[in-house]
């Protein structure tokens, strides 16, 4: 079995970053809720307790049973996790007199301790806590401090149990990776062998065992996620994979034809289905973002149900679901993380659809998917393609979706995306697109007054989609694109640029 680090989630906004940092060390890890601890088989080499919005002093705070873990396998508590290990084993946690949020510097760090070796006094760390460990149990040794917090890190004597008040998983903790690597590699004795090639080998083997000779239907979108999922499944089951590319009427300009063409050389069995009108009918009169997402998701399922009946003995529905989709849609594995928005390809299928779901990328982040795709020799045109939401332009048109609005937005989007490519900016951007705003504004074209629609352009930089910053595109480029859009797209007289980051905003507007 794949050796791994188990991360117990207490609802922290940073839990997923712990997973990302560990995977960057080429060690596999999984997130599970604190109240659903999996069986501790021999492949679990260590456990990390995440932070939490709770105070460990609260009656309603999580209180996991760590008796099978503490003192038996390596254990690291982060923020809330560190406070829990102190407060519940003989120490004392109290409200902070000076709260630490943001950057802090270590005034002391033990160079001799196995967890903090290689870290330096003065090293910047990231704090986010309203409570402080005032007293550690007698058998705990302090291994790190800041000016305001004496117990910034500790070790439990006689066992491989540790706690840190700061967040080593956050980029602003400049030597956080040093600490995590010390824990995962040196203390937990994990081999840094979880690579794209090893993922491909293990996943293909698992898919063969799971699916056998059954037939799988998979929806292709042209994006990297569904493409990598398709190639993995094709590698595992060959001609038993039946791919379907649905034109939902919400794709980018000419995308239906171009995507079908892009799969010709991959050896995939692909069928194109034009279901535009079914989606438009389902979206008629809807303005609420969640209602639109759910309507699009339902029609998607209905279309696949219809198509699955045309494939004799199809038993599985393949999907390109990735980790951020799961995290943002539902609490991880039923845990305490907050739902942000639903995704059309997350959460199972209705009872009437007699297909089981297979999601080979469900536990991968976007950059990991791209690395796996590169290992599979997918074309750069697919691997470098910006993420595009499953509901398509349906969630980039604020308010009711109509065919005319889609046509206008397709033209705007094409000018923007093609402009990024022509000016060599496309690969500097994580994701870009245009949003049709639910407002009209006054303008002047020629000598005439206009009262037409406004659009917003959105471009962000990111590594995994969990956080993102707005992209600082050159003013000259934005001016050129704005001018092209207003001159060439009838119905638009105003262009804006979105300079919001995630958080607090999301990448998509809906």
Catalytic residues: 79, 167, 169
- Residue 426 is given by DSSP the state G
Distance CA 117, CA 120 (A): 8
Paired with 502 in beta bridges are 468
DSSP state of 192: S
Beta bridge mates, 273: 246
Enter the tokens of residue 458.
């959105």
For 157, list phi and psi in degrees, rounded to 5: -65, 135
Bond before 503 cis per omega within 30 degrees? yes
Instruction: Please give the helix or strand (H or E) that residue 482 lies within, else none.
Output: helix 475-488
Between the alpha carbon of residue 254 and those of residues 39, 126, 378, 408, 497, the distances in Å are 50, 46, 22, 13, 25
Instruction: Please state, in angstroms and rounded to a whole number, the distance separating the CA atoms of residues 248 and 427.
Output: 27
Beta bridge partners of 132: 94
Measured distance CA(458)–CA(435) in Å, rounded: 8
**Could you tell me the sign of the dihedral formed by the alpha carbons of 408, 412, 417, 418, in that order?**
positive
What is the C-alpha R_g of the chain?
25
Of 310, 391, 298, 313, which Cα lies nearest the Cα of 352? Answer: 298
- Distance, in Å, from the CA atom of 483 to the CA atom of 72, rounded to the nearest integer, reads 65
Helix axes 403-422, 475-488, angle to 10 degrees: 140
Question: What's the rounded Cα separation, in Å, for the pair 280 and 12?
Answer: 39
Classify strands 448-461 and 469-470 as parallel, antiparallel or unpaired.
antiparallel
Token pair for residue 218? Answer: 């998979």
Is residue 352 a contact partner of residue 396, using CB atoms and an 8 Å limit? no
Check: CB of residue 146 under 8 Å from CB of residue 59.
no
Cα–Cα distances in angstroms (integers) from residue 412 to residues 34, 261, 407, 457, 487, in the given order: 46, 23, 9, 9, 11
CA separation for the pair 322, 361 (Å, rounded): 5
User: Could you tell me how many helices (H) and strands (E) the chain has, helices first?
Assistant: 13, 18
């Amino acid at each position: 079995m794949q050796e791994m680090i188990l991360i117990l989630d207490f609802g922290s906004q940073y839990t997923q970053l712990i997973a990302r940092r560990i995977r960057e060390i080429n060690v596999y890890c999984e997130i599970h809720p604190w109240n659903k601890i999996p069986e501790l088989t021999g492949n679990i080499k260590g456990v990390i307790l995440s932070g939490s919005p709770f105070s460990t002093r609260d009656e309603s705070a999580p209180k996991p049973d760590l008796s099978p873990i503490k003192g038996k396998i390596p254990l690291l508590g982060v923020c809330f996790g560190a406070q829990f290990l102190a407060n519940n084993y003989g120490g004392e946690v109290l409200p902070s007199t000076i709260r630490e949020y943001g950057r802090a510097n270590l005034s002391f760090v033990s160079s001799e301790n196995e967890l903090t070796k290689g870290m330096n006094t003065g090293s910047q760390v990231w704090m986010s806590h309203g409570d402080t460990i005032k007293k550690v149990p007698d058998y705990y040794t302090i291994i790190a401090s800041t000016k305001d917090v004496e117990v910034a890190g500790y070790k439990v004597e006689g066992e491989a149990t540790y706690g840190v008040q700061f967040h080593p998983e956050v980029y602003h903790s400049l030597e956080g990776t040093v600490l995590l690597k010390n824990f995962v590699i040196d203390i937990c004795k994990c081999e840094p062998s979880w690579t794209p090639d090893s993922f491909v080998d293990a996943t293909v083997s698992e898919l063969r065992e799971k699916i056998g000779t059954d037939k799988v239907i998979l929806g292709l979108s042209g994006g990297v996620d569904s493409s990598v999922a398709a190639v993995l499944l094709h590698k595992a089951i060959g001609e038993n994979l039946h791919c379907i590319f649905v034109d939902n009427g919400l794709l980018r300009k000419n995308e239906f034809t171009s995507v079908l063409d892009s799969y010709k050389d991959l050896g995939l069995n692909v069928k194109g289905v034009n279901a535009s009108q079914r989606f438009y009918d389902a979206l008629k009169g809807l303005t609420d973002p969640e209602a639109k997402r759910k309507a699009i998701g339902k029609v998607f399922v209905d279309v696949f149900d219809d198509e699955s009946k045309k494939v004799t003995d199809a038993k599985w529905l393949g999907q390109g679901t990735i980790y951020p989709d799961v995290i943002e849609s539902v609490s991880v594995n039923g845990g305490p993380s907050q739902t942000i928005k639903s995704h059309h390809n997350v959460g199972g299928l209705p009872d009437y659809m007699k297909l089981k779901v297979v999601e080979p990328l469900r536990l991968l982040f976007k950059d990991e998917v791209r690395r796996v795709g590169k290992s599979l020799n997918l074309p750069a045109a697919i691997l470098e393609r910006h993420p595009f939401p499953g509901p398509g332009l349906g969630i980039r048109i604020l308010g009711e979706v109509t065919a005319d609005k889609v046509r206008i937005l397709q033209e705007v989007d094409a000018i923007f995306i093609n402009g990024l490519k022509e000016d060599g900016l496309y690969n500097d951007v994580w994701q870009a697109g245009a949003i049709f705003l639910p407002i009209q504004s006054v303008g002047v074209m020629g000598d005439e007054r206009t009262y037409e629609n406004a659009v917003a352009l959105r471009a962000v930089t990111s590594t995994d989609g969990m956080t993102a910053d707005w992209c600082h595109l050159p003013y000259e480029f934005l001016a050129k694109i704005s001018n092209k859009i207003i001159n060439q797209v009838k119905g638009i007289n105003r262009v804006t640029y979105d300079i919001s980051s995630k958080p607090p905003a999301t990448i998509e507007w809906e």
